[in-house]
């Protein structure tokens, strides 16, 4: 006999629907606890998702929300957001190869990405570690500078419909292109920080006229 424990009952309120997950027999499950194997790339991706959440592309005004949605499942850790005008959707999926930690449990939380977390992510570079702990009520990000805790916030009502529409549209998508981390050319072997991996590289398309 297995007993499932929930942090709180699910509830339908006037403007929101709150669904609780049990995570199995664990009394207070964490969706994921561990390191992201490519810390710098993950940090850049998280900042990009947060940037979409704080931007209004239609009639730009002051920054909108700063709170991406974090979802843990058995095969990935997903970060999603909509722009303030709900016209742009951003998603970052970290697959098992990018996770080094406890197996993700099912669950979703909506957290704010404030200035301290943005600054901490912006300083992650090269081989710097990036540790995440995701739970139903918070997201804790730990870097070489220390830990930053972001608490759960209310999910914008407009996003609920948007998530449903995105799933329908994305079901018809097919992979267009994939790329692996490029190897630096021989000319970059002597760049400062190349031996330790604490350097950044940028790629851009090159064309020929004629």
Query: Which residues are within 8 A (CB) of 82 and not within 5 positions of it... i.e. 6 or more apart?
Result: 52, 53, 88, 89, 90, 156, 158, 159, 162
Q: Give me the half-sphere count of Cα atoms (radius 13 Å) on the Cβ side of residue 155.
A: 23
Mean pLDDT taken over the chain:
78
Average pLDDT over residues 156-179: 83
33 forms beta bridges with 133
| pLDDT score, position 177 | 77
Q: What pLDDT digit, counting tens, does each position of 20-59 carry?
A: 666 554 555 788 899 999 999 999 999 999 999 888 877 6
Q: Is the pLDDT of residue 66 over 50?
A: yes
Residue 183 binned pLDDT confidence (cut-offs 50, 70, 90): low
DSSP classification of residue 131: E
Pick the CATH number of 29-169 from 3.40.50.10320, 3.40.190.10, 2.40.160.10, 3.10.150.10: 3.10.150.10
Q: What does pTM read for this prediction? A: 0.71
- Are the beta carbons of 77 and 38 closer than 8 angstroms? no
* Confidence grade of residue 210 (pLDDT, cut at 50, 70, 90): very low
């Amino acid at each position: 006999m297995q007993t499932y424990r929930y942090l709180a009952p699910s509830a339908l309120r006037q403007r929101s629907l709150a669904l609780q997950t049990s995570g199995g027999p664990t009394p207070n499950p964490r969706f994921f606890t561990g390191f992201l194997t490519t810390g710098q790339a993950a940090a850049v991706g998280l900042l990009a998702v947060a940037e979409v959440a704080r931007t209004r592309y239609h009639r730009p005004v002051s920054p909108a929300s700063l709170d991406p949605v974090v979802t843990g499942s058995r095969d990935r850790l997903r970060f999603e957001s909509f722009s303030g005008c709900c016209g742009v959707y951003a998603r970052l999926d970290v697959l098992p190869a990018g996770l080094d930690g406890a197996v993700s449990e099912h669950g979703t939380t909506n957290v704010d990405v404030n200035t301290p977390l943005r600054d901490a992510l912006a300083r992650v570079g090269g081989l710097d570690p990036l540790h995440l702990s995701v739970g139903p009520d918070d997201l804790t990000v730990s870097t070489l500078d220390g830990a930053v805790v972001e608490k759960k916030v209310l999910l914008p009502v407009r996003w609920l419909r948007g998530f449903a529409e995105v799933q329908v549209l994305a079901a018809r998508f097919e992979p267009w292109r994939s790329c692996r981390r490029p190897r630096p050319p021989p000319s970059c072997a002597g760049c400062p920080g190349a031996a330790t991996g604490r350097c950044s590289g940028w790629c851009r398309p090159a064309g020929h006229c004629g």
